[in-house]
Structure 1
Amino acid sequence: MDLKEIQNLIKFVANSGVAEVKLEMDDVKITIRTTLENAAPEVTYVQQAPIQQALPAQNQTAIPATITPVATAVVDENSKYVTIKSPMIGTFYRKPAPDKPVFAEVGSTIQKGDVLCVIEAMKLFNEIEAEITGKIVKILVDDMSPVEFDQPLFLVDPS
């Protein structure tokens, strides 16, 4: 696996909404952890496993394992916001129907019980309601994207 493939993997994981991914292949182990807002990887380590080669007896040496940090830690400045998470696995929709307006936008003021989105699971459309009153700071998932259980969907400023 070359550096370009690793960088593409980091970008894919950062945009997917997954908190952590571990990949182990024959000679490479990669762990990618992302921040709450899924904007950039928090810490990534690439570890090259030792490679043993059959060399003549007088020159036989092992290549040492290396750990190379690829990205630096990101400080989480979103700790003052409340995260609204997906209660189920399904497909995330911001609108009740394709020809209707979105339920909520960034900057919208929401009340407890307001519908924020719909998650379709097994042909059932489940309305996801606001758990708190506040202002939407960030929408963390793209429209018509698959979501996992407990995946962050919205950041809300309760103040």
Structure 2
Amino acid sequence: MLKVQEIRELIKLVDQSSIDEFVYENEGSKIKMKKNVAATYVSQINSVPQEVETVSTPQPVLTTATPSVTIQELKQELQEAETANQADTTNLHKIVSPMVGTFYASPTPDADQYVKIGSTVTKDSIVCIVEAMKLFNEIEAEINGEIVEVLAKSGQLVEYGQPLFLVKP
């Protein structure tokens, strides 16, 4: 499922673009966004019984496997979720990328990851590798604690200062 920030970016992009309909499918979930629609339409998603929706105002709507929600309502829910998420992460330490490069969670493709959610780390623990210009740089935790969340996927390009892990000290 998409993260809150990714859904927010999709909404922004669709809202700012000239397209009237956007469909996104990934791992069995489907998001369908329509805007400037004043008609009746039928949608069927993942063998859910057909739903008929009538939109009487030119208000943007989002159709998913759950009942449709206006973009304004979704934006508000996303803001509330993000605020709650920020409150939860205020006491967590972020391990950030010290450079632009490619993130690797393990020393080799067939090896176990350095750390997973729930792993205990020390200041000297290697948590990942960031490859930059054919150099493989081992990234240390720099704090004692427990890994709460892994924010990057192996093989993903990361930016300087991008959070890679959340650690509970």
What TM-score do the two structures reach when normalised by structure 2?
A: 0.55
Spell out the pairing of 1:30-45 with structure 2 (5 A cutoff): none
Deviation at 1:102, TM superposition (A): 1.1
Aligned counterpart, 2:5 = 14
Per-residue CA deviation, residues 101-122 of structure 1 (Å, 9 max, x unaligned), is: 2111111110001110001111
Deviation at 1:12, TM superposition (A): 8.1
Distance 1:20 1:93, change over 3 A: same
Alignment partners' CA distance in 2, 1:152 and 1:112:
17
Percent identity between matched residues is 43
Spell out the pairing of 1:118-137 with structure 2 (5 A cutoff): 118-137=129-148
Q: Secondary structure at the match of 2:108?
A: coil
Q: Does 1:80 align with 2:91?
A: yes
Deviation at 1:99, TM superposition (A): 2.5
What TM-score do the two structures reach when normalised by structure 1?
A: 0.58
Give the ranges of 4+ consecutive aligned residues of structure 1 lying more than 4 Å apart after TM superposition: 19-27
Q: Which moved more, 1:124-133 or 1:72-81?
A: 72-81
Aligned counterpart, 2:151 = 140
Distance 1:120 1:12, change over 3 A: same
Q: Which runs of 5+ in 2 are unaligned?
A: 20-35, 37-70
Q: Secondary structure at the match of 1:107?
A: coil
Equivalenced residue count is: 116
Deviation at 1:13, TM superposition (A): 8.3
Q: Secondary structure at the match of 2:5?
A: helix
Q: Secondary structure at the match of 1:136?
A: strand
Distance 1:112 1:143, change over 3 A: same
Q: Which of 111, 120, 127 does residue 116 from structure 1 map onto?
A: 127
Distance 1:153 1:15, change over 3 A: farther
Per-residue CA deviation, residues 45-71 of structure 1 (Å, 9 max, x unaligned), is: xxx9xxxxxxxxxxxxxxxxxxx6342
Which protein is richer in helix relative to its size? 2
- Letter of the 1:14 partner, please give it: Q
Q: Secondary structure at the match of 2:139?
A: strand
Q: Which runs of 5+ in 1 are unaligned?
A: 1-10, 28-47, 49-67
Alignment partners' CA distance in 1, 2:158 and 2:106:
16
Alignment partners' CA distance in 2, 1:13 and 1:87:
25
- Letter of the 1:100 partner, please give it: A
Q: Secondary structure at the match of 1:14?
A: helix
Alignment partners' CA distance in 2, 1:115 and 1:80:
22
